[in-house]
Amino acid sequence: MPIQEEPDVVRDHAAGSVDGGSRQPVRYRLGGHRPERGGRRPHDSSGPAAADEVSALTAAQFVAHGQMYQAVSAQAAAIHDMFVNTLGISAGSYAATEAANAIAAG
């Protein structure tokens, strides 16, 4: 079902003339109903998040993705630290080689 809104409500809301100029958020409903303003939610029969099986599975997927992200981030941080350490050692070696070449070139 597409979300439908009546053009005059959109125009009036954009102009600030809905509800005496107050900018209340529009609560959209599916199926061509007029929007509700303030007060109750459009779907009062739905339970809290993770109260049904699909929400619980979705939450579990987000937890798994979060844990995987933390593990990958820790590995990336370790690789970054090793790379920075390698660059530091290489810079020291390069400086020592330049000094030796300067002495040899005289």
pLDDT digits (tens, 9 = 90+) for 42-101: 554 545 565 889 988 998 999 999 999 999 999 999 999 999 999 999 999 999 999 999
Binning pLDDT at 50, 70 and 90, where does residue 34 land?
Answer: low
pTM strictly above 0.95: no
Q: What does the block give as tokens for 15?
A: 């102009």
User: Token digits for 14?
Assistant: 């954009």
Say if residue 93 is exposed, middle or buried (CB neighbours under 10 Å; 0-12, 13-18, 19+).
exposed
Helices marked H in 1-106: 7-15, 53-105
